[in-house]
A and B are shown apart, each in its own frame.
Chain A
Amino acid sequence: GESVGLHLPTLSVQEGDNSIINCAYSNSASDYFIWYKQESGKGPQFIIDIRSNMDKRQGQRVTVLLNKTVKHLSLQIAATQPGDSAVYFCAETLYGGSQGNLIFGKGTKLSVKP
């Protein structure tokens, strides 16, 4: 079916540690994936995206890994900071690339302990 899910609903990490948020997707035809961060009372904020012809992409303190063999997506945050505390969503599109309708999972709440 068309669904994007997350392995862990909550994640608690110590400030300064690295965080890894995981996501499973079910449709092998999905061609675009994206991570958003959503703070309380705010809309989703773009973090990083990756197309299906890539398996890794790096940004500032963040890395997204795509494993098409097992249909798995992960977001790695280096040196996690208190400001990283939020709900993180992965999303995919089946067609249309970045312009397609985003299919979201339920989200993972990241809590950073000082």
Chain B
Amino acid sequence: DAGVTQSPTHLIKTRGQQVTLRCSPKSGHDTVSWYQQALGQGPQFIFQYYEEEERQRGNFPDRFSGHQFPNYSSELNVNALLLGDSALYLCASSVSGQPQHFGDGTRLSIL
């Protein structure tokens, strides 16, 4: 039973570019949340998707957007990349009443 999978594992972009990160949830999970983890910090909540709708959103600008597909997989899009967007982007999946399980993340570096 595969856990949460994320792609790509590493990505290098330059300022101003746009990026799309992908997440496949654990089998049986219908909710996907995205988190940003800066080096040496705890993860910070970006947003959560359920039934293809954004259900909750953290304190992130509109440059951060997402999507959930009918098969529950999800994408995180970031536009107009800034140096400060360099971080580990984590996807977590869950189902009602169960803890959130994380993937190993995408390491995004902005040059």
Residues of A within 8 A of B (CB): 4, 34, 36, 41-46, 49, 89, 91, 96-107
Contact = CB atoms under 8 A, between A and B. Distances in A.
Interface size class of B (residues with CB under 8 A): 20 to 34
Given A43-B103, A46-B101, A99 B94 contact: yes
Interface stretch (B12-20, B43-51, B65-73): B43-51
Per DSSP, chain A at the interface is: mixed
B101 A98 contact: no
Contacts of A106: 40-42
Contacts, number: 58
Contact of A43 (B45, B56, B104): B104
Contacts of B35: 102
A98 B56 contact: no
Nearest to A49: B99
Given A44-B43, A89-B42, A107-B42, A102 B100 contact: yes
